[in-house]
Structures are given as C-alpha cells and as structure tokens.
Structure 1
C-alpha cells in the first residue's frame, strides 16, 4: 500500500494496513534539514514541496502537503478594479519588511509582512484598519463576480511526489478570513462581538466568493483529495463558542454539502483549545476529519476521550505536542507518546498519527524518526 493509498483509505473511513503517520513538518523544518533558509525558498533556489517530499521518502512516513504543493484553482477574471504595488524595506541582512498596496478608484489600502531568513513570513498589519473606510476599498479591489481556470494546481505536482500523501483545497473559515484582513486580534474580536451591518456584508461576501471558488474547483478533474477548512483563529483559545456558532457553523455546513455532493471529504483544522469544537462538529455538521486535536498545555483535547465519544464517525488526525515533547523530549519519550496515541485512537482505522501543529524548525530529527518508528512498530492492522 502506498502512502497515498494509506491516507486516502483512512480519510474515507476504510481500514489501511497500518496507521498513517504525518510528522507535521513544513518548509520551515525541511529547509533546515536540507541546509536552506527561508530566503532560498522565496527566491526559488529550493522548492518547498520537493523538500517535504524528500524528507517523506527519507523517513518512510506519509505527507499532507498543506503547503509547498498546492491544490488551488486560479481566478481568471473578476469585476474588481485594482492596481497592486509592492515595496520592500531592508531591515538588516536577515530580514526585510514588505508592504503591499491595493490602489482602487475608492482609495488605497495596504498590508505589511516581515520576511526573515530563519522564520516563515509573519504578517504585521492587515488591509483593514478602519472597518467602514477600508472594507469598500477591499471589495472594489476583489469584485463581486469571478471566473476560474479549468485546471487545478494539483496537476503540476510530480506524480511520484503525490504518491507520498495527499494535498488539499484550502478555504479560510469566516472568522479566520476576517482575522487575516484585520490581523489585530483585539480589533477582530470587537468587530465580531459588535456584529455590525458592515461585518454581516463582509461575511456574506466571503461566503459567496468561497462557495463560488469551491464549486468551480469541483468541476475540475482530478477532484480534490480533501477540502481543508483552515480555522486556527477559530480556536476556543481565541473566540467563544457563541462566536463560532454565529459566524462559522452555517458556512461549514454549506462547504460540506458541496463537497459531499462530489464525494470529497472535508477536514477542519483547529489548533489550540478545540475539545468543545470537536463535539460541535460531531453533533451539528458532517465534517469528516478533525485536526490537530492539540493536547494540553497548548490545547485541551484528551485523545482517548475524543475517540470514545466521537471516533465512530470522525477521522481523528493528531496529536503529539510540538513545543515540549517533539522539540525538547527524547526519542524514547516521543516513541512512547506516539504509541500511546495509537492505543488511544487507532482502533477501527479512523486515525492519522500527527503532531498537534506544525513542527518547530529546530525539532531534533531523531524525534521525528522516533514518531515514524512508532507507527511502523505499533500501528499495524
């Protein structure tokens, strides 16, 4: 059974030959192991997807290509009106600030991001600083009617690399979309609690744009391996259950309905405190897969309890701690924790062993190998 077959079987609630193991590394970790830095990736001297594929082969694990290799669909035209300008300000030899401006007939808005040699791009300010002033500019820039390409970026992935795992078609949850535009968490939360008419308009625009984009993607073959609903800012480490219900739940169900009509599974990512969200997703949606089920202290998920209560329907995708166990633990401790996770959640095959979020750059390679060894040694069906 290939790594891709193994992942797809679990995602569709079928029994594989063993528990798939996805160590949760991305370009940040992979570039260090391959002796590159983030500027090498940005400037094309190394390809993030290829780096991740090479490590997947080396470790004998499976991969979710959440970045590097993408399953996207390009927007071909819209009635938006904008000119895009970018400007870089060098801070030192290892970092620069990039400003992106959107110029429209209704005004100009800008966002900034810090680029660092040793760390991923870090957004510093979002496009929306003043809700009523800046949203009309953003909407004019992006328009209200769109057409899409008839091919997916998934077709550009080398077949030998795609056999190492799965990719995903990514959609931000409404709260996460708004956090990305605002970027200031306090302002985002105030907006969500206020629930102004303007914010309602914004959420409806987000819904229309993304359902249109998803519908277009589902017309293209090959179909997505899965839909990934990105919900980091929708964690209960950030918002309340009430806000989750108000802004996210209906959208989740809209996405699931479209995806399931095409027999495509839906995964949702909530890092941080997500125990209550797993219950909501189980009881009030038809989401198929939940990731990464982060344990304490970063999250609040008891994997064995979640498996007992919700594991007959939900595929569980988690949940080894990254910033203590994987970063500072010993290989023996990692292997023991991975074995325990398999014992807690591996029954009936609806489990993918993963980390509780992205691996830190400086995670010891021996710890990653220990995690993979546990799946091979203890995860056979």
Structure 2
C-alpha cells in the first residue's frame, strides 16, 4: 500500500507562472515575518475578512487588502523583475495610481492585473491628492506605481506619502528595482557612501553652478541624464569635478543591450562627444574624489607659491600652481601678488 506523502511546507510547482503565490505556510512555521505577506511585522496593516479564523482559513489572495497606500516598485526594463508580492498587491488593490496608465498597461497586462488605473503624475498631483485622500478615508486600498522602478524616486509621490501620514492613513511599500542603485552596483565604483542628485539643469551655466555643490561630497554621485544632453553634462562634470575622476555611464539597464562604460570623466566626455547621443535612459555615476585630487590646504598653496616666486615671475608662479592643483589662475595670481608684497607694506 503506498504511503501518504510526508507533510511539510508547500513547494512552488515547477514552471509556476509569475504572479502566483504558494499556499499559506503551516501554522508551525515561526519567524519574525508577519503571517500576512502584505503586512509589516508590527501588524499596522491587517488583511480584512476572516483570514485569521482557524476554522475556515480562506485563500488570502481572495480577500481585500487593508485600507492604505501601497508603494509598489515595478521593473526598470526587464518585465520579469517584479516580485510575487507586488503582483498580488496590484491585483487586490481597489485602485492603481499610475504615472502613465498606458505605459503601466503593458506590465499589468503581462501579469493579468485588471485593477482600475488612475493617472497620478507631476502635472495633476495637486488636483488628485484630495480625491485620493477621500478614497483612503472611505477605506480603499490604493497602490502607487511609477513608469519604472521605485515610486517617489524623482517623482512627486513623496507629497502624497506626507499627506497620508499627516491624515493618519497607513503607508507601506513593496520594494524592488531602482535604476540608481542598479547602476551604482554595476559601476564598480565605491558604494559605501553615495549621494543621489537626480537630473542636472539643462543649461550649461546652471549645470556648472549646481555641480559645484557636489564637488566636496565624500562619496559617489548619482545623476540621471537624457541621451541628448549626456555629452554636454559629462564635459561640465569633467570641468567642475575633475577630468581624471572615475565615472560610469549606465544605460538600457536590465535590457538586452545593457551597457555600463567606466572610465575617467574626461574620457567619457570625449567618447560621447564623438559618438553622439546613445539610446536608452541614462544613469551617470561619478566616483568619490581621491585624496590626491582633493583641493590642497591654503597653507600648502601659499608655501608652494612662495617657493616658486623665488625663481619665477608672479604670473608664471600662478600658472604653475594652477596646473598642479586645478585652481583658478586669477585667484592664484591675486594671492601671489599679496605674498610678494614686502612684509608690513
């Protein structure tokens, strides 16, 4: 007589389609993860219905979500980069707030998500937030997604989260893909400290001014850029941050033609000036300033100028120190004039 199969945790069947989830864990399993896969361990979100009634234990996928705002990360390129949990939330939410309903439609159709979509983006955010607050007040569960990646990164979603927290509505997240982080880890540049700077101004003068704010940050810098402005931005970065500074240009991340080019800022600027605008969305990573490239101490500069003034004219001394340090010739010339004055003059 064949023996009954041993009981144990259910296994995901081979070839299971994305978007399906295994059955509930056996009651004997214990860890620090909430029983509800959509809720944080503090149980601030609870699935409605009788999911915790041991006599029935219905499939949680058929129950509505708890009221609140769910921030759901979506793929940045490859549609396979979405979590089971994200799909489950999108299927069970009352409304999906999309940056662009047509763009999101491709992803949602791929996974059979038929939830109603409403546009929520930079241009209608102020108008839509009162309606969203009203829906949350009526107990609805709303999922917020962007066109690609993690919501709130470079979009107005943070204002919605702020309003939700002010009104006391629950907010949680289903984390996932984010192009700045993917580019950083693929660049090979230091990732222990980094600063996300987003898009730089489109015009050169404003862009250079903005770059001066980031020059002394002790970590890698992360920028987003459009293909048509890439060469100009890299040239300005090379001028303002140092052309020998290591950097990487990442594009088409997670897609078939993914490319990450890591060189100096000077070489990258020259490459894209010659090759023209590349295709795809761009993330630029600029490595931290090395100690040898750091601006020298003012006393060291004075000492070097005094030494050179013994054998060179003022302008020549200033030019030499400018080459050695990358500092402006005019500032060094004025300082050299002061140092060359007789003591007490």
TM over 0.5: no
Computing the radius of gyration over CA atoms, which structure comes out larger, 1 or 2?
2
User: Which has more helix, going by share of residues?
Assistant: 1
TM-score, normalization by structure 1? 0.27
TM-score, normalization by structure 2? 0.29
User: Which has more strand, going by share of residues?
Assistant: 1
